[in-house]
Structure 1
Amino acid sequence: MTGTTSPGRHRPRAARAASAVALALAGALSLGAAPASVAPASAAAVRPAADPLARYHHQQLHWKSCLLGPDDSIGKELEQAGAQCADVTVPLDYARPDGRTLTVAISRIRGTDTAHRVGALLLNSGGPGGQTLGDPPFVRRAMGEVAARYDVVGVDPRFVGRSTPLDCHWPTGSMIRGAGTDRAGFEREAGFAADLARRCRTYAGDLLPHSSTRNTARDMDVIRAALGERRISYLGYSYGSYLGQVYATMFPKRIDRVVLDGVIDPARYGPRLLRGAEDANRNALRDWADWTAAHHTAYGLGRTRAGVLATVEAVRSAAARTPLRVGDHRLDDHVLPVIVFNGLSQDNPTAYGDFAEGVRDLRRAAEGRAVTPSPWLASALEFTLTGHESGYGSAQTSILCGDVPAPRDPETYWRDLRRAGKEDRLFAPVTNNINPCAFWDPPRERPTTIRADLPALLVNATGDPRTTYPGARAVRRDWSSSRLVTLRDADQHAVYGVYGSRCVDATVNAYLATGRLPATDVGCPRPTS
């Protein structure tokens, strides 16, 4: 899970703009038979014993402009890249394919080298809940010459972005909060999480049972068939790595070349996925502090690592005593740690500078000064403290809660918080806190038991603070036929095409071009510039 404003908010374009991206909510549920865009199948094809999903697999896609209006920046970029968009009809409930339907929005840039065509490359940029429809232009640029051999397909998964929406009308864009510093604060957070779960039951209760990675994987296979592809290749970042593992397990004969970047260990996947990431985030904070100390003249946060870290701790302590006022927002010890956590997923000067400006604003607020937040901080606060992107948090949470059950007893979380908080007062209250999944109905299906092996290309940075490096190594051990590309000495979440590592990008592109994995695992140095 990733992101600049929540776990899982990775979008590859975030290398250019690390602020929150507004989610466009479009599409609607329909009742009864599939719409006219689903082509009628033959009598033999529609017999349940033959293929109960035949009318979805054989639907005719109506390709159209991706541009929704003059202010649609994603649509403009897709249009300029030559992409077209379509809506794919899928069942709401795969156990009842003749019932309600929903739409999944996709985009596609066709390959131009038809003589050496590989097929369709489906994308998922993470989350869960992240939009991917706008990512084909970015991915094609990363692929270089090999892009001509693929149809690059972006997908807004069910309930995300331009697909049929799920919105619980939350007062926040994320379920992630800090637990506070005492039992009273934890009790407030438990009440907040329970309220978020209640809102989802109220506003989206009919959709929640069908929000899961398994259903997203089923949707992917409908998309594959509707595109006329016998097999698909796949590029998944962060949570998208887990989705790729699930798809390859459920549809093993339908998968071709697979790249998983920011690899999740499926044994650890679930509503408490962030537990155990404290060390990686502390290390990322220290490395950011080193950079910031070297730029003391610009930010004034301290001339040494220790000095910068002391500034962060002073801000944390001040927020725990009295909420900080930043613009129109107030940050207490439930929100401040989340803002810091969100500043540590990208390892580059632009992201470091954005975070440093944000911490400088927070220090000024802690000193009682009036503050107009920097763009990065303003975006993070709007996402965390308003319902502006309620749909994102709603979709993300519904998938996590719909995949794996969470402990229901609040005392479980309190014990973990007390234990972890002895060593870490900043990140442990975020990574171990209770969340709405503790108050959710049990998942409709059991979690997927991931297949024993897959010849995939895995990519991870050693210091990744979201999908930590031990997770990638665990998957590599389980998948003996796979290969692991390691970016050394970088606190970076999402590497391919994002970080500027020629070593990583060349290795991935060689695999996409030939279908042959490297003979051994590959280690790539951190770029020097």
Structure 2
Amino acid sequence: MKRQHGIGRSSVLAAVLGLGLGGSLLAPPAVADGPRAPQVRWGACPEDVVAEAAPTTLQCGTVPVPVDYADPGGAEIDLMISRLARTDPDKRRGILMLNPGGPGGSGLALSAQLVSLGLPSSVTDRYDVIGMDTRGIGHSAPVSCGFTDDSPYIANVPPYAVDDAAVTAQAKVAEQVAEQCARNDHDGRLRQMTTANTARDLDRIRAALGEEKTSYLGYSYGTALGAAYASMFPGRSDRIVLDSNIGDTHLDRDGMRRYALGVEQTFPAFAKWASARHDDYGLGRTPAEVRETYFALAERLDKAPTEGFDGGLFRQLTFAFLFNEAQYPKLAEQWRALNSGDDAALRRLRSENATASGAPSPADNPLSVFASVTCNDVEWPEDVDTYRRGVAEDRERYPLFGAAAANITPCAFWTKAERPVAINDAGPRNVLIVQNLRDPVTPHEGGKLLRQKFKDRSRLLSVDASGHGAYVISGNPCALNTTTRFLVEGKMPAKDTLCSAS
């Protein structure tokens, strides 16, 4: 889950950060036991966190963790965490850890953001809410592949491949990215960027806070991290909420290809909205006409880019702005400018996010984290022809975005890492899976897959809503009340439940 800001190259980077090869090494121990972490010393947060959290005041501190859990006495890094302290000590249950997704998203101010969106006071009465920058992110020993603003690698979702030649061209970019990240991994920390290690970090944070168990709320990729923690440390997991689910403890090629399914299922909501406002934007009087406009604009920009917009960027931006219905007006304005040939409007929109050519990319850190974690977590196909076939298949199955989500990524050329975490269905019944029916990046199928894997440990709460993020974010009262009741009272739905549209 990431906020979107404006329209342009940086918007793509920010918006789609929302989301390894064979021969895995032996995995380090699953447990995070070791020398007890020192108690956290709370103090003021960094200025950027203070500004992002305002008007809510948070406290920040650090927790040391091993770079490599197979070498617990070796090098350490400090992870920065934040605390929104409970408001009613008499009602305190424990801690609620948060993760906003990515991998690559900063979560230090997430508690404050959720409060501003309507996180109920009954939750903040019961928990110290713990945000964090997980390993390699932001204020927690950030990693870097050295991406610059003029790099051809501008998003963690590959560009739309119009033909086989485009897959070949993207393969060269993907290979260069893998090589660049390897060259920049001077101290070996990129190799230790895995979901399993991050789950081990969560357990070190739990111990440093003096808690026997932790509750958890994770969005998007945060569901993979939460699923990994609940699987690796079932006895230390309390109440686990996984919202907008990838479908496992890692993102693999099948998971990324499901982005295209999500776009197909979510796009009709935007098309209906835009057709009702045809007089404002001129994109079509019916949802079918809006869909036709999408294909017409994409194909025109494939042949003749304008003001830096080509068909690939147009498709990426459309995908990104489907994350939240509140972004529909910005998306429609971009379409209007492209459709009408309003170059002045396009230049204005792009200049809002312009950075100097060759300068370090503002998305270097999140892009580096996404590539490292995704590629380290699980084996991806190495054969370029496999991606060519997938692109051809998904271009037909999911014409809106299939030839992007199936395209080749740096993971095809990545150095091997540890095995992915297996779902553990033998723990307590404490996993609530929350999922919108229409989500462009984590479609409902992801929630169903995770429900099947956790079996009776879990229940699935489906929400008749569009967008990425259900609890607090969607505004659906049923999703809000059902999830809050689980966090506050521990009341899991007796069976899988559907929340009607609000």
TM-score by length of 1: 0.83
Residue equivalent to 2:20: none
Q: Contact 1:316 / 1:426 at 8 angstroms: preserved in 2? A: no
Distance 1:80-1:420 versus aligned 2 partners, 3 A rule: closer
What is the aligned residue count?
474
Report the residue type matching 2:476 in the other structure: S
- Kindly indicate whether residue 155 of structure 2 is the aligned counterpart of residue 174 of structure 1: yes
**CA deviation after TM superposition for structure 1 residue 373, in Å:** 5.0
Secondary structure at the aligned position of 2:183 is classed as helix
Q: Secondary structure at the match of 1:89?
A: strand
Structure 1 residues 270 and 512: CA distance shift in structure 2, 3 A:
same
Provide Cα deviations, 1:237-270, integer angstroms capped at 9, x if missing partner: 1111111111111111111011111122228832
8 A Cα contact 1:272 1:431, kept in partner: no
Task: Write out aligned runs for 1:294-313 (5 A).
Answer: 294-313=276-295
Q: 1:163 aligned to 137, 140, 162, which one? A: 140
Q: 1:52 to 1:113 in 2, by over 3 A?
A: closer
Match of 2:381 in 1: 407
> In structure 2, what residue type is equivalent to 1:134?
A
Hey, what's the Cα distance between the residues in 1 that align with 2:320 and 2:272?
18
Q: Is the 8 A contact 2:50 2:57 kept in 1?
A: no
Q: Distance in 2 between matches of 1:208 and 1:271?
A: 20
What is the aligned counterpart of 1:505 among 450, 456, 480? 480
Show CA shifts across 1:141-172 (max 9, x none).
Answer: 41322311110000111011211111112224
CA-CA distance at 1:518 after TM superposition: 2.1
Q: Percent of aligned pairs with the same residue? A: 34
Counterpart check, 1:59 vs 2:38: yes
Secondary structure of the 1:356 match is: helix
Residue 423 (structure 1) shift: 4.2
The answer to which of 136-145 and 210-219 deviates more is 136-145
- Could you list the runs of 5+ residues in structure 1 that have no partner in the other structure? 1-9, 24-50
Cα distance per residue 1:323-347 (max 9 Å; x no partner) = 221xxxx23344332222212222x
Structure 1 match to 2:97:
122
Partners of 1:93 and 1:242 in 2: CA distance: 20
Instruction: Determine helix, strand or coil for the equivalent of 1:257.
Output: strand
From the superposition, tell whether residues 518 and 380 of structure 1 become closer, same or farther in structure 2 (CA, over 3 Å): farther
Q: In 2, are the aligned partners of 1:272 and 1:406 still within 8 Å (CA)?
A: no
Shift of 1:372: 3.2
Q: Quickly say closer, same or farther: Cα 1:514–1:373, change in 2 above 3 A.
A: farther
Give the corresponding residue for 1:6. Answer: none
SS at match of 2:366: helix
Match of 1:142, SS state, is coil
Specify which of 133, 141, 145 is matched with residue 122 of structure 2. 145
Task: Call closer, same or farther: CA 1:369–1:15 in 2, change over 3 Å.
Answer: closer
Q: Deviations over 1:176-208 (max 9, x none)?
A: 222432222221111111111111011125222
CA contact (8 A) 1:299 1:360 kept: yes
Larger displacement relative to structure 2 (393-402 or 175-184) = 175-184
Letter in 2 for 1:405: E
The residue that corresponds to 1:343 in the other structure is 321
Give, as a single letter, the amino acid of the residue that structure 1 aligns with 2:443: T
Paired position in structure 1 for 2:414: 440
1:223 Cα shift? Answer: 0.4
Aligned CA distance change for structure 1 residues 266 and 154 (closer, same or farther; 3 Å): same
- Cα distance, 1:64–1:197 mapped onto 2, change above 3 Å: same
Larger RCO: 1 or 2 (CA < 8 Å, sep 6+): 2
- Per-residue CA deviations over 1:91-125 (Å, capped at 9, x if unaligned) read 10111112111121110011132222110100011
Q: In structure 1, the residue corresponding to 2:196 is in which secondary structure?
A: helix
Structure 2 residue runs of 5 or longer lacking an equivalent are 16-30
Preserved contact between residue 6 and residue 349 of structure 2 (Cα < 8 Å): no
Secondary structure of 2:132's partner?
A: strand
Which letter does structure 2 place at the counterpart of 1:196?
V
- Work out whether 1:112 is the aligned partner of 2:91: no
Aligned counterparts, 1:457-476, within 5 A: 457-476=432-451
- SS state at 2:346 partner: coil
Of 155, 167, 172 in structure 2, the residue corresponding to residue 191 of structure 1 is: 172
